[in-house]
Amino acid sequence: QVQLVESGGGSFQAGGSLILSCAATGFRSRTNGTGWFRQVPGKGRDRVVTNGASTGRTYYVDYVKGRFTISLSTAMNTVFLEMTSLTPEDTAKYYCATGPNVASCESGYNLWGKGTKVTVSS
């Protein structure tokens, strides 16, 4: 069964760092679009960063630029999200997603993990 499994969430202090992982199991990924999204209660999933395999381009939303970094390990079939200089506003449930193309919104992705919760306290 094809699935994405996120890990690495937990409780962290403001100013700290963490790395989220998203492991793809059940297949060798050949999808073009990969992304991390986040969701707070009562809202939809918002893009954090997306990457296109065919273009090599990465897009970060403004509020994570310079703080978050996406990386991909083809050998491990895993996508990572390094998060630094954490703030309480980064508190959310983080999801990874893949799809046939790079898209800015969640509807453009057809495979999602179940998410991992990140809580940042001041």
30 falls in which pLDDT band (50, 70, 90)? low
In this prediction, residues 86-93 reach a mean pLDDT of 98
Measure CA of the first residue to CA of the last residue in the chain; give whole Å: 40
Q: Does residue 41 carry a pLDDT above 70?
A: yes
27 falls in which pLDDT band (50, 70, 90)? low
Determine the Cα–Cα distance for residues 94 and 43; give it in Å rounded to an integer.
13
